[in-house]
Amino acid sequence: MELIEYGPDIVVEMSDTDARALVSASARWRSRLALDRPPISVTPASEGSYSIAARDVAGFIKVGNHAVDIAPKFLSQDSAGPQWRRALWRFLAYGGGIETLDDGAGLNVDSSLGVADLLADIYLASLAGSATRGFALGYRSHRIQSQFVRGRLDPRGFARLLPPTGRVGVISTSLTRDVPLNRLLKWAGLELARTVDSTTRRRRLLEWANGLEGVAPLPPEPQTVHLSNRHHPHLMRPAEIALMLLNDTARSHHDDARELPGFLWDSEDLFERSVRRLFREAAQPLSLRVAKRRHKLAKLNDAVPEHWTFTVPDLDVHDSHRSVLMVDAKYKAVGLDPSASDMYQVLAAGRVRGTSSVALVYPKTSGPAHWWSFSPEGNGLPSRVFIMTLGIEEFATSARLDALRGSVRRFIEEATTAPTR
């Protein structure tokens, strides 16, 4: 089943139990993703069927026997054709920070394959041979009573040293597979098994996860997972995929056993992160850096202590000394003229940083990066406001993404060159 963010409702035959579960899960996703409203609406349509629609999110979920793919409003079957799910996967992966993007060229993928099943195939392919090449190991501490001091003395047992018992409390260590990296991989495999539509893929995922013995299936805290390209290069790709799933959707994930399986992403946040990464990669050959930084906007007069208001543009393009371009990413359609509020926001950031140019970046369905500019009235900086549109479908293949990156690099060069008077 395919839903388009802000697209038309789809009527689905669904039990009352599944409908209630979907409503409950939507409320949890709203809280988890800090959305203004529930991302999925469920409305009775007729006896035994419900009308469902999605907004503010992209991703995939499973409701009873229904596997549901939710496409961003700028990407769909109608616009991108049968390969739109690959485009969605790469857009999710790019915004999720995965370094090695996979076109899935080596996979036999038919056009009806759901996003969860496509991701499961990529995940399983990335894990091929992992058991043979080895998983991460770590040390686990044990407190035991022993006749021998193996390890170090347990300070908790000092009070029991007298009278002598022939045993002392010690802390010893042993090798274990139950480390955050392995728990992350196992958790992701089990979660995908709950989400995929294909029974064959579900069985393969469960077989792989159950083969990782001695590892708890609970997700670790993301900050405890340490990726090592030197020690475990074969685990880097599956770990990146698993971290993408954990970082975006696992906050308080599955505290309730009735939680529907699936993963949803905040579309606006995903677009902002994709734009930031795209600009960062395009700016690097120009010896420029990109970050999201807070800047002072205005100071309250006569306040003790000092009180400031701040502006936080989505992208601050800067060299080692100063900001050269301020950019805001806006997840909405744009015509020739952006809204006045969008203009005000980015102009304020450019003014406080003294940049000659600022930019607003908007998504579109397809096509290379395209930009045009305005000249603000009045004196002072900024002197140019650029409007840029980026095609979401350009993330679909490595070649198109490379071309998009090159276009953004040329834009940065133009925007950071002082305009001729």
Tens digit of pLDDT for each residue in 314-352? Answer: 999 999 999 999 999 999 999 999 999 999 999 999 999
In 3D space, the residue among 378, 374, 380 whose CA is nearest the CA of residue 415 turns out to be: 374
Question: Quick one: pLDDT at residue 171?
Answer: 66
Q: How far apart are CA 52 and CA 114, in angstroms?
A: 18
Q: Could you tell me which residues come within 8 angstroms of residue 24 by beta carbon, excluding any fewer than 6 positions away?
A: 258
Strands, sheet with 357-364, edge to edge from the N-terminal-most edge strand: 289-291, 315-318, 323-329, 357-364, 384-391, 370-374
Residue 229 has pLDDT above 80, yes or no: no
Whether the upstream peptide bond of residue 419 has omega within 30° of 0, thus cis, is no
Residue 251 has pLDDT above 50, yes or no: no
Q: How do residues 339-395 score in pLDDT, each as one tens digit?
A: 999 999 999 999 999 999 999 999 999 888 999 999 999 888 999 999 999 999 998
- Contact by Cβ (8 Å): 366, 72: no
Query: Of the ranges 68-82, 177-191, 246-260, which is most confident?
Result: 177-191
* Structure confidence at residue 110 as a pLDDT band (50, 70, 90): low
Helical axes 115-126 vs 180-195, angle rounded to 10°:
150
SS3 245: helix
Q: How far apart are CA 121 and CA 115, in angstroms?
A: 10
- The C-alpha angle with vertex 63 and arms to 1 and 332, in degrees rounded to 5, equals 55
The stretch 203-214 carries a mean pLDDT of 93
Q: What is the DSSP-derived secondary structure letter of residue 157?
A: G
**Lowest-confidence range among 50-64, 128-142, 336-350, 374-388?**
128-142
* Structure confidence at residue 64 as a pLDDT band (50, 70, 90): confident
The stretch 392-406 carries a mean pLDDT of 91
- Contact by Cβ (8 Å): 275, 263: no
The stretch 278-296 carries a mean pLDDT of 96
Q: What is the mean pLDDT of the chain?
A: 86
Question: Quick one: pLDDT at residue 133?
Answer: 81
| Token pair recorded at residue 225 | 């997972």
* Structure confidence at residue 41 as a pLDDT band (50, 70, 90): very high
Q: How far apart are CA 160 and CA 317, in angstroms?
A: 63
Question: Quick one: pLDDT at residue 209?
Answer: 93
The stretch 68-75 carries a mean pLDDT of 90
How crowded is residue 65: how many other Cβ atoms within 10 Å of its Cβ?
10
Q: What is the DSSP-derived secondary structure letter of residue 74?
A: T
Residue 99 has pLDDT above 90, yes or no: no
The DSSP string of 181-196 is HHHHHHHHHHHHHHH-
Q: How far apart are CA 160 and CA 83, in angstroms?
A: 69
SS3 252: coil
Question: Quick one: pLDDT at residue 135?
Answer: 83
Question: Quick one: 142 exposed, middle or buried, by C-beta within 10 A (0-12, 13-18, 19+)?
Answer: exposed
